[in-house]
Chain A
Amino acid sequence: MVYCVGHSIISPLGDGSQANYEAVQAGRSGLKIHTDRFDSVEPFCASLFDTPQAFVPLCIRSVEEAITNNQSPITNSKDTIFILSTTKGDNLDLITPAKMIAHHFGNPNPPIVVSNACTSGVCAQITAMRLLEAGMYQHAVVVGCDIQTKFIVSGFQAFKALSPEPCLPFSPDRKGLNLGEAAATIVYSQLPMANSQQPLWTLEAGSIHNDANHISAPSRTGEGAYRCLMDVMEGLSPADIDLVGVHGTATLYNDDMERIALERAGLQDTPISALKPFFGHTMGAAGVLETILCAMQANEKMVNNKMVNCIKMLSGFGGVNAAIRIRV
């Protein structure tokens, strides 16, 4: 178990976790139809920054916001590891931006980049938990970020995966996904932080499983996702889970796969949260951003200060699935 000691989200909906949470509560969405971006041959619906953002400065700003609560500087410590979650990084380069971010904060350790397709943001948190639990570091700064490019938009268009209108996760009328841009950061630590202004949580368990079925089509049995759910529920029953943050891309096959996995795990009656109608699919940022917002949503569910359990799950190309369980 490791402790979240700070977090931040920067998205087209606002700066800071609280601003983004309030935007979601108010039903605001960053999704818009774009006709003049990335030389796209057809209009597409996405959540994009009005002013195009450079990858590294955006990540740096996200980390700075996440550590404002901290009393002591941890980012430049040799006991802190930087972990970047991204799929396409800065113009297809993943390691250089990671080194630039760590270097900016004076961190002496070579950073780790997790590139596990759309599950990266959850996998990066699992990597952080393992390194901290093994005693290799005391703190981990997990940054998730992707910015959209002609490369990504054209690829998803060729895959016929994009919805021409705002996406509808788990709806019978869903037509596909929307892409999005964001940076989000979670700082994990071996020890809790006292007197935080933000809702915080503990990361209790994490699991990654491959469907071993197809490199792009989701499993028809939800096998990998189901195994992840069972792993993170180890020692608990479905009734102990208060909220599941689904991947909810709103493609026909992903949502159906998740439904099957949830039912197999006995979670069909558990409330779910699907955030892509607000942010689009923010790829490398998704797991980090959606974990933060699920924690804040779960925080609202607390009654009489009783802790609640929340699962965040993701799936991606390569047949990979990942899930974590947090206690808020």
Chain B
Amino acid sequence: MKVVSEIEIRPTSVVLNGQPIAVETTGEKMLVELYRRYAGDYPKFFKMDTLSRLGFIAAEILLKEPRAKSQEPTAIILANRSASIKNDTDYLATISDGNYYPSPALFVYTLPNIVTGEIAIRHHIQGETSFYILDAPEQLEQILLSTMSNNLKPSNPQTILAGWCECTEPNNFYAKLQIIWNN
């Protein structure tokens, strides 16, 4: 496994392949700022929950990199520790006693793997999408190694967009996404 390209997004900073990207805002506002700078033509972004916006933006920046373009990922494998807890909390507010109007648009995001689907739709990736809940990011490496290990199988991906994508509160999130080659 070889990491070809990497992005880290925190509420106050963005680092692409070791180089910081200057941002004027923080937290959720920063994700919108990045959307306007790097995408801008995808209004569905504003329908997404914060976890999906985070993963979407990370993928958007990463996949525009020349190094990523030379061999595009055929699979998306992400993980975190808290599943979709931020959006679960938002949905719970719509089914509270006395104000019971469950929101379908929020409910659909109460699954962490929706972010992998959003990235797949945006980049037309029809290979594997998987989401794991792990105690620590280091565990993901073992899963990725085993996923790539038997390259004789037609379904085993050779290039994966992989990493950690976590959002516990509107302004508390962390993403570290990588493009990984199997050679």
Asked if the two chains touch in their complex, CB atoms less than 8 Å apart, one says yes
Partner of A110, one of B83, B103, B134: B134
Contact A319 B133 (CB under 8 A): no
Taking the closest CB of chain B, its distance from the CB of A295, in whole angstroms, is 21
- Interface size bracket, B side: 35 or more
Contact with B along A151-167 (1 / 0, CB 8 A): 10011011100000000
Partner of B83, one of A92, A134, A209: A92
Q: Majority SS of interface residues in chain A?
A: mixed
Partner of A159, one of B82, B100, B107, B113: B107
Q: Which of A69-77, A114-122, A243-251 contacts B (4 or more CB under 8 A)?
A: A114-122
Q: Which residues of B contact A117 (CB under 8 A)?
A: 111, 113-114
Contact B135 A210 (CB under 8 A): no
Q: Is A191 an interface residue (CB 8 A)?
A: no
Q: Give the docked Cα–Cα distance between A52 and B152 (Å).
A: 46
Contact B95 A215 (CB under 8 A): no
Q: Which residues of A contact B123 (CB under 8 A)?
A: 212
Q: Give the docked Cα–Cα distance between A27 and B24 (Å).
A: 64
Q: Give the docked Cα–Cα distance between A25 and B86 (Å).
A: 43
Partner of A114, one of B91, B107, B108, B132: B132
Q: Give the docked Cα–Cα distance between A95 and B110 (Å).
A: 16
- Interface size bracket, A side: 35 or more
Known A154-B95, A210-B126; judge A95-B154 contact (CB<8 A).
no
Contact A208 B146 (CB under 8 A): no
Contact B118 A134 (CB under 8 A): no
Q: Which residues of A contact B154 (CB under 8 A)?
A: 231, 234
Contact A115 B143 (CB under 8 A): no
Q: Is B129 an interface residue (CB 8 A)?
A: yes
Q: Which of A4-12, A125-133, A175-183 contacts B (4 or more CB under 8 A)?
A: A125-133
Q: Give the docked Cα–Cα distance between A215 and B83 (Å).
A: 17
Q: Is B116 an interface residue (CB 8 A)?
A: yes
Q: Is B150 an interface residue (CB 8 A)?
A: yes
Interface residues of A (CB under 8 A from B): 39, 41, 87-89, 92, 94-95, 98-99, 110-117, 123, 127, 130-131, 133-134, 136, 150-151, 154-155, 157-159, 205-216, 223-224, 227, 231, 234, 316-320
Smallest CB-CB A-B distances: 4 pairs: A318-B117, A113-B133, A155-B107, A158-B102
